[in-house]
A and B are shown apart, each in its own frame.
Chain A
């Protein structure tokens, strides 16, 4: 009998935000990111029996998602290629023209920045996953989604003072977890 367990009932609660964040940083479109995450979960369901337990569920789902993202780019690139007119600015007679296009964009993120940012996002999500469900939910709504206090209170049916107590506990836990896993690095 395998010594690992796979529980799709908890996938959405445990991994939806993580997969969504992973996707949106790569496709830059909320709707497309949501679709790709949904496709990933559906594909995960279909291939559940192939899960060997060699990696964590999250890593396994990310590997499916990566393929979905590659497929998405292949699809849009093959559509774009049909109508694309390629222009080259690099012929010698045009030397000096289009200079800006030849200079590296200083605001462009380097590969190193991207790796560090993705490590930071992982650290935040790992700390978030350790919070009690309610604290994580309120913290996400207030800190990541930037919802108004009143809107959160109405949606979750809690008082403002209740919300601040939850936020305080969540922030204390998050700060101490981040200190252990990120600031000390």
Chain B
């Protein structure tokens, strides 16, 4: 059976939606996602939640340590802990 190029599964739609939150979905992928959004309630609900999460995190301007910074901190802390023990 020939695969319909416009049809994507729910999993694929969610994957495109995830990529789209980071600006990594292609135009073609977004087009396919939009088609699915017109008729799939589950994809619509997922997209709504996903977008809300992205917006909330952007609004918060939350920051965290980079991996290497955390490792450096861990190293100096362990040295200090070792000295104390």
Point out residues on A near B: beta carbons under 8 Å.
8-9, 11-13, 16-17, 20-21, 24-25, 34, 37-38, 41-42, 45-46, 117, 120-121, 124-125, 137, 140-145, 149, 155, 164, 167-168, 171, 174-176, 178-179, 182-183
Contact B52 A183 (CB under 8 A): yes
Binding site of B, secondary structure by majority: helix, strand, loop or mixed? Answer: helix
B64 adjacent to A20 (CB under 8 Å) = yes
Distance between Cα atoms of A175 and B21 in the complex (Å): 13
- Tell whether B59 is near chain A: CB-to-CB under 8 Å: yes
Please report the C-alpha to C-alpha distance between residue A37 and residue B54 in the assembled complex, in whole angstroms: 27
> For the complex, is B80 an interface residue (Cβ under 8 Å from A)?
yes
Known A-B contacts A34-B69, A168-B15; the reply to A174 vs B64 at CB < 8 A is no
**CB nearest to B65 among chain A residues:** A20
Question: Given A124-B60, A142-B22, A145-B66, list of 19 further CB < 8 A pairs?
Answer: A11-B77, A12-B73, A12-B77, A17-B65, A24-B63, A34-B65, A37-B73, A42-B80, A46-B84, A117-B60, A120-B59, A120-B60, A124-B56, A125-B62, A144-B64, A171-B50, A175-B49, A175-B52, A175-B53
Q: Please report B residues at the A interface, Cβ cutoff 8 Å.
A: 14-15, 18-19, 21-22, 24, 49-50, 52-54, 56-57, 59-67, 69-70, 73-74, 76-77, 80-81, 84
Chain A CB within 10 Å, residue with most, of B53, B59, B67: B53
Cβ of A178 and Cβ of B53 under 8 Å apart? yes
Contact B62 A168 (CB under 8 A): no
- List, in ascending order, chain A residues with CB within 8 A of B84's CB: 45-46
Residue of A nearest to B56 (CB): A178
Residue of B nearest to A34 (CB): B69
Residues of A within 8 A of B52 (CB): 175, 178, 183
Query: Which 8 A/B pairs are nearest by Cβ-Cβ distance?
Result: A17-B64, A175-B49, A12-B74, A175-B53, A120-B60, A21-B63, A20-B65, A144-B64
